[in-house]
Structure 1
Amino acid sequence: MREESWVNRLWRRIAYDRSIGFGFEHVGLTTLRFPRIMALIALAFTILCFTQLPRANVDGDLMRVYAHSGHYYDAYERLSETFGTFENDIYVLVNSPSLTDPATLEKVRELAFDLELNEFAVGSMSPFTLRKPSGEGGSVPAVPEGMTDFAQVARALSDLQQNDPMMRNLITPDLTGMVLIMFPNQAMTKGDGTKAMLVSLREMLSYYEGDDLQIELTGPPIWTSEMLNAAVDDQIKFTVYGFALGALIALLALRSLTGALLVAATPFVAVMWSMGSVIMMFGSFSFLTIIVTTLVIVMAFAESMFFIFNWLAYWRDGMEPHKAVDATLKLVGPATALTTLTTLVAFVSLYFSPGQGVQEFAIAGAMGCCIVFLCLMTVMPLLLKMALQLGFKLPRTPSFALNAPVPVAWKLATKLGRPITVLSVVLVGLLFVPYFLIQPRFSLQDFMARGSDAMSAAEEIDQGVGGVAPLYVRVPLADNDPNLSTRDFETLRTVHEIIEGELGENKVISIASMSNYTDNGFSREDVFDAVGPFMKRRFITEDGTQGLVTGFMATIIESDALKQMVARIDDKLADAGIADAEIGGFRVLTTFATDDIVRSLQISLSISVVINIFLIGFAFGSMRVAVASIVPNMFPILGTEAYLWLSGSGLQLTTVIALTIAFGIAVNDTIHFLSHYVHGRREEHRDHLGSVKNTMERIGGAIVATTVILCVGTIIVAFSELPQVALFGTLFVLSLALALIGDLFMLPAILVAGAKFFAPLGRIRVRTADHDPTPDDPTGDTLTGRGPYPVRPEP
């Protein structure tokens, strides 16, 4: 007989002579073989991760989410480096029914000067910092000092509000409100500097607040601070409640307090390992990576429940409990390795989408998947054996409520298998319609904490002065004149008029908006001297190579409206021959970058689904298994997208992430189901229907329990103060609930209806367990003849 080539041996090893877990379950087999060494390694890593926890913090920089996300981020970076931006400015909204009272006005003037002198400020803008050319080679305050009656104050403020473009955006038409803007020192506000700045400001402002003055703070630093506080509070609640609810459900399911603690122990260790790993990898959490902790909790609880259910089932069947731990690890290990790979694929697919935040989330999530698997293969068997040593007794049979849906699902599958299969296929086909119709959407308020005082103040500014959210147009200049040549002035004026046509009269500032001074005989150099060097840098670079036109729009604006407006501005700039001008700003960045990221994530989701279905087929050595998994795994994703489309929510950043990760986790139940089914066919020699029924009876309750744990552990996320995080939780739970329907009702019906199609699965060559069997181990390898079952001859 000719010796087999090394290529054929390698292919056979990859394709057939392996387990469905591709051998990764050997981590668990190593634990069984060297328990003390593995326990020491696990303990050492646990201690290392615990030492990292004091460094835990959440980075409140929202720009971290969008960093390196493409053209609009690059434009924003260029804009910031050239001119600075208004994006990190603090807005102080001052309201007073007696603002035109000279005494009240002087009090506000004093507040404005204190604001400018604050240690965290590099400058400020208010009616009191603005100066007008005096006509004598100098300048005078735009709001005269020493006014003595209401009429004088009213005339001065009305003149500014009506004739000065900058003040139009800072003084309300009814003269009862005024906006003061502080420009923070960016170097001092890094890290915890923002928190210290807000404490300093609130302490200063409290001195001026009273019956005559109502003062509110708003602006991006306030918003991100509120988001950060909400995110940290959420994470504490999610972790505590997630553990408590998971343990409670495990207690109700197992009817054993010790059993519930054993289920909860592995998730606890997994969370500690994942938190320590994220801190070591990134130094801090972000608004996205902080979600990984909750995902690790629910994934670890679900896999722990599968492990415990199988272990107790072997024990109740008469197997010695220590050997039952070994048998469970050998049977569940390969399926768990495969579920880890599918979830890993879902996370890794996110990495190829633009945006540093999404990529960090993908890495953190991938690490979390691996950590959950390692904990299950090491910590879980070690804890179970330790519990047995300490006298753990077999608990009562699981709660009837968990198994109640199983007989119903089996009866429907046997009586209505074909109609349910046809209905499922048609339904999934119809759900592709909203999949292609749904569009990305971005809304700033969805990122803000509910009941945000800063957002309320921003809305009040929108209503009072029409908004102060900036939209920038950076314009290259031809003559490089620091005081602006006539030709460059005309270019800026053209851009100014285009933006003003979109945002409204006096809602744009640039050097062209100073025409009320230049028309009265003042030179542009006089005007620049009057506004001061700080504000001059907001109009033109020191070398005169670039100019800036800034429009102010409402803070609350729909993404579609903003995209349409930017498109119109682009067209008008091109028509005017200024095609090299660049539109930017935080709202423009977040809207367009979110659009790009979401579309990329949607593609990643589709690729993830295809790869995972193929991976399942390859892992089992039969594409028939992949075919069986298509409908139950597509149904939850398409169903959830249909909900988003019908509700008008659209695709947002966290919604696509939720869908991708929910798919990766939801497919786990399908894999465990198919693994048990194929194991029954291949190694227990059951017939097709007998294997389906035995699988439902053996793990149906576990599927229900794990889904309940996943849903309950994640539903608390739906109560987050941050709408985006809350939506993530809602969609995650909806996807998992639909996945339960797919795995418990659709999948068995498909298997029953396709009895002839799935008949060959009893002869697949890959193993559903990989081990050295013991005499009473019911997971033997029939292809090699090892184990209690006789060899089934190949047809």
Structure 2
Amino acid sequence: METSRSKQPRPGSPRTSGSQSIALGLERIGLISLRFPLLVGLTTIVLLIAAGFGLARIKVDDSLSQLFRSDTPEFKTFEEVTRRFPSNEYDVLIVVEGKNLLEHGSIEKLRDLVTDLQLIDGTRGIISMFSARQPPQGDALPAPLFPDQLPAGAEYDQLVQRVKNNEIIRGKLLSEDGQLTLIVLALDPAVVASSRLRNVIGEIQKTIDDDLAGTGLTARLSGVPVMQLEIRNAVERDRLVYNAFGFAAGALIAILFFRRLAFMIIGAGPPLIAIMLALGALGWLDFRLNMFLNVMTPLIMVISFSDSMQLTFAARDRLLQGEGRFEAFRDAMLVVGPACVLTHATAALSFIALQFSESELIRTFGEAGLVATLIAMFAVLLLVPLLGLLLLRNESVFAAEVKAADTALDVLRRFCAWIAAKMVSHPGLYSLLALFVVGGLGLIYANLEPRYRLADQVPDREQAVAASHRLDAKLNGANPIDVLIEFPEGKSLYDPETLETIAEVHASFEKQPGVANVWSLETLRRWLAEKAGKSDVATLKQYVDILPQYLTRRFISAEQDAVLVSGRVPDLDAGQLLPVIESLDKALDQVRMKHPGYKIAVTGLSAIAARNSALMIKKLNRGLTLEFLFVAAFVGLAFRSVVVMLASILPGIFPVVLSGTLLWLIGEGLQFASVVALTVSFGLGLSATIHFLNRWRQEERPDQDPAIAVERATVLVGPPLILTSVVLACGLIVTVFSDLPSLRLFGWLSAFAMLAALAADLLILRPTVTFLSRLARQMSRARLHLLEHEH
């Protein structure tokens, strides 16, 4: 065994028995480039041109509800409300704040602002404290709360007091301390869905800046359209950052360790081309970039760069052994290619596992990842040998130069040899320790609680989240929550039972702790009864008819067969919000029993998120647990070895449970982004395991201790495994530059899981496979001995 450590092993032969069987011969796709380089080159150029047009077709999906899109009755109700009451999805919330808000000069400027905002093309109505009216006098229509000519002195002070005490706006459009006001500007739905949204929001911002200049008031924008625009901008900006950083990281590492520009292009070129081809294909297939699909660039990079580096290293070793470039890349393809195919297959399984989610967004991410993985596999297998043939010349001169200047890789080889020797010295002990460590971390991981907040899906370095926080603090909530009331056949809007049902729902809504700013037709009805002493239906109908359509459509459907009671809740974690939703739903049961013909449903994005997020996260997590066993069985089947199957379980689970423990230690629960990151990282992290097992299987000899093959394989594949793991981490950690919290979480957690997978590969896989292999041989000899004894 000492001899094997002191002497550098020769790379395994492609003719080693069984080396091709794990990929069913699919690695031979790469040999096409060696036989028909011109054809493959021209095809690649054509596909790149087509991919360029596909890239131009990619659009951004900025919908906040996409994460919860499903076929469930709750989501269908939410979509129905959005269609019939087009308000919350198209409202820009303008939060104006300042200690001098209600001063004479500030009110004049604010009223000018409200007037100017209505003149912006693309808007369709506005609600503000200037919408409020005086109590009606007789049969005359009530006068505005703010007269055309503002009074001065004591009369103005009395006006301010009336404004603060007005039931319509107090606590809804004006904070109790009179220092914050909310202006709700409704946009045309066609604008929100188009590229014009950026220009309209920009015009709104410019109007605010111009009208409030010098007042000392601050104004921030929030609401779904603003959040959508910020998501859109962040996704587009992040895509540029990821592409640039991914290219730089891959190229730098390739140059540092290959020490040749040609090898840098061979190692980094196929992944970059894979990115172009995959994104182009997603564009042609009409996938839309969103918070998850935006990580597709670094994911393609890490999937393809890992195998590209493995193939390039293997070919480089053969060139240093004196082979020509054709033979070197052919042998590298036959030896390393099967593992490349299998790593892409396991990554594809990780994406397939996401298809079991109820979220359409996560399923779409899984579909896109599957497409990208297949494209990346073909790109690597075909382009690495192609570029090797085209770019390498004078192999003998290269071998002579590099052999004398391969210091960095020699250091890595010695480190790998030292680690392997330590790990195989007491394989049973280290395997037992690994089992206890993984089991302990698994217990901590099992205690992670699901977490979800709407703000995590929106850029947190922009104004929308800051404005929402101010609404949470001063008006008790920025996120809408609704109760839909649908009338039975034969019941009209002004039927006494309908009005009674609306009143009872409104009252239950108002009494619910955690809900504020409740509006409905009942708000108008109460105001008329209290201020005008009129509670007859005719007066109510008269006032509804004179109100602008954009205002009435917030609460009354166009067909007048349904109404909405709308409130606001703070942006809390779903676990904190769910009891509020369930308590409200339970309170409404009394109304449902009293009025059985009326359909009453609590809905809104906050309600959907609170109800579904925990369940969806738990299902994703269960899917990940099942994936451990499924992928281990898949790898074992591919290698046709129970030892391989069992050996791959602990190193596969370790990075996931360690990452989960880290989330637990920093007080983070399981979010959508973290579960998806762990699911994908599990598939990617198996790359190191598969490449090692592939080489170990080729180095194994029946007449030698399995530890010798473990050490040889570690020295051969260890350096590229370490380098590619660093590249994987670099390719994913770039997402920490994102403005989207969920994307930042995805990035750093995936990068951490990559490094944990490398640690598991070196410290768990080596002793485990040695121990299991020795045990299998002992059992085989014992069985053989028993059979001989019986005969």
Match of 1:518 in 2: 529
Matched, 1:562 2:577: yes
Matched, 1:190 2:201: no
Match of 2:131 in 1: 129
Structure 1 residue 134 displacement after superposition:
4.4
Structure 1 residue 750 displacement after superposition:
1.0
Match of 1:235 in 2: 239
2:289 partner SS: coil
Structure 1 residue 500 displacement after superposition:
1.2
What do the CA deviations read for 1:760-784 (whole angstroms, capped 9, x no partner)?
Answer: 9999xxxxxxxxxxxxxxxxxxxxx
User: 1:435 touches 1:642 (CA, 8 Å); kept in 2?
Assistant: yes
Match of 1:393 in 2: 398
User: 2:61 touches 2:289 (CA, 8 Å); kept in 1?
Assistant: yes
Determine the C-alpha separation between the residues in 2 that align with 1:760 and 1:336. 32
User: 1:478 touches 1:488 (CA, 8 Å); kept in 2?
Assistant: no
Matched, 1:305 2:309: yes
Determine the C-alpha separation between the residues in 1 that align with 2:590 and 2:155. 46
Change (3 A) 1:71 1:459: same
Determine the C-alpha separation between the residues in 2 that align with 1:553 and 1:153. 33
Determine the C-alpha separation between the residues in 1 that align with 2:572 and 2:449. 17
User: 2:52 touches 2:280 (CA, 8 Å); kept in 1?
Assistant: yes
Determine the C-alpha separation between the residues in 1 that align with 2:346 and 2:631. 6
Match of 1:75 in 2: 77
2:566 partner SS: strand
Change (3 A) 1:116 1:151: farther
Equivalent of 2:738, from 706, 720, 736? 720
Change (3 A) 1:208 1:114: same
Equivalent of 2:555, from 508, 519, 539? 539
Equivalent of 1:466, from 464, 470, 476? 476
2:219 partner SS: strand
Structure 1 residue 442 displacement after superposition:
0.6
1:538 partner SS: coil
Determine the C-alpha separation between the residues in 1 that align with 2:488 and 2:731. 60
2:567 partner SS: strand
What do the CA deviations read for 1:696-726 (whole angstroms, capped 9, x no partner)?
Answer: 1101111111111111222222232221111
Matched, 1:528 2:532: no
1:297 partner SS: helix
Determine the C-alpha separation between the residues in 1 that align with 2:711 and 2:52. 45
Match of 2:564 in 1: 548
Q: Which amino acid aligns with 1:295?
A: L
TM-score (norm 1): 0.89
Change (3 A) 1:499 1:302: same
Alignment of 1:181-580 (within 5 A): 181-212=184-215, 213-282=217-286, 284-389=288-393, 393-394=398-399, 395=402, 396-397=405-406, 398-478=408-488, 482-503=492-513, 507-514=517-524, 515-519=526-530, 520-522=532-534, 523-529=539-545, 531-554=547-570, 556-577=571-592, 580=599
Determine the C-alpha separation between the residues in 1 that align with 2:293 and 2:476. 36
Structure 1 residue 180 displacement after superposition:
0.9
Structure 1 residue 748 displacement after superposition:
0.9
**RMSD (CA atoms):** 2.6
Determine the C-alpha separation between the residues in 2 that align with 1:151 and 1:552. 35
Determine the C-alpha separation between the residues in 1 that align with 2:145 and 2:25. 77
Structure 1 residue 566 displacement after superposition:
0.3
Tell me the matched-pair count.
Answer: 746
Out of 186-195 and 753-762, give the one that drifted further.
753-762
Out of 111-120 and 534-543, give the one that drifted further.
534-543
User: 2:23 touches 2:342 (CA, 8 Å); kept in 1?
Assistant: yes
TM-score (norm 2): 0.89
What do the CA deviations read for 1:398-454 (whole angstroms, capped 9, x no partner)?
Answer: 534433531332232232322110010112222221333222111122223233222
Structure 1 residue 634 displacement after superposition:
0.9
Determine the C-alpha separation between the residues in 2 that align with 1:597 and 1:210. 47
Determine the C-alpha separation between the residues in 2 that align with 1:685 and 1:370. 39
Change (3 A) 1:153 1:482: farther
Match of 1:637 in 2: 656
Determine the C-alpha separation between the residues in 2 that align with 1:276 and 1:347. 19
Alignment of 1:167-178 (within 5 A): 167-178=170-181
What do the CA deviations read for 1:517-549 (whole angstroms, capped 9, x no partner)?
Answer: 224333322442454433222223344432211
Match of 2:63 in 1: 61
Determine the C-alpha separation between the residues in 2 that align with 1:320 and 1:635. 41
Determine the C-alpha separation between the residues in 1 that align with 2:484 and 2:160. 31
Match of 2:108 in 1: 106
Q: Which amino acid aligns with 1:146?
A: Q
2:192 partner SS: coil
Determine the C-alpha separation between the residues in 2 that align with 1:273 and 1:393. 32
Structure 1 runs of 4+ off > 6 angstroms?
Answer: 760-763
Determine the C-alpha separation between the residues in 1 that align with 2:435 and 2:474. 55
Determine the C-alpha separation between the residues in 1 that align with 2:715 and 2:88. 63
User: 1:50 touches 1:276 (CA, 8 Å); kept in 2?
Assistant: yes
1:168 partner SS: coil
Match of 1:677 in 2: 696
User: 1:154 touches 1:175 (CA, 8 Å); kept in 2?
Assistant: no
Determine the C-alpha separation between the residues in 1 that align with 2:515 and 2:586. 20
Determine the C-alpha separation between the residues in 1 that align with 2:731 and 2:19. 38
User: 2:222 touches 2:468 (CA, 8 Å); kept in 1?
Assistant: yes
Q: Which amino acid aligns with 2:291?
A: F
Change (3 A) 1:552 1:71: same
User: 1:39 touches 1:378 (CA, 8 Å); kept in 2?
Assistant: no
Equivalent of 2:764, from 740, 746, 756? 746
Structure 1 residue 339 displacement after superposition:
1.0
2:62 partner SS: coil
Q: Which amino acid aligns with 1:32?
A: L
Matched, 1:47 2:49: yes
User: 2:574 touches 2:609 (CA, 8 Å); kept in 1?
Assistant: no
Determine the C-alpha separation between the residues in 1 that align with 2:97 and 2:53. 49
Structure 1 residue 230 displacement after superposition:
2.2
2:568 partner SS: strand
1:552 partner SS: strand
Determine the C-alpha separation between the residues in 1 that align with 2:368 and 2:157. 58
Out of 319-328 and 282-291, give the one that drifted further.
282-291
Gaps of 5+ in 2: 1-17, 782-791
Determine the C-alpha separation between the residues in 2 that align with 1:279 and 1:438. 37
Determine the C-alpha separation between the residues in 2 that align with 1:427 and 1:484. 67
Change (3 A) 1:353 1:390: farther
Q: Which amino acid aligns with 1:261?
A: I
What do the CA deviations read for 1:724-757 (whole angstroms, capped 9, x no partner)?
Answer: 1111111111111111111111111112223433
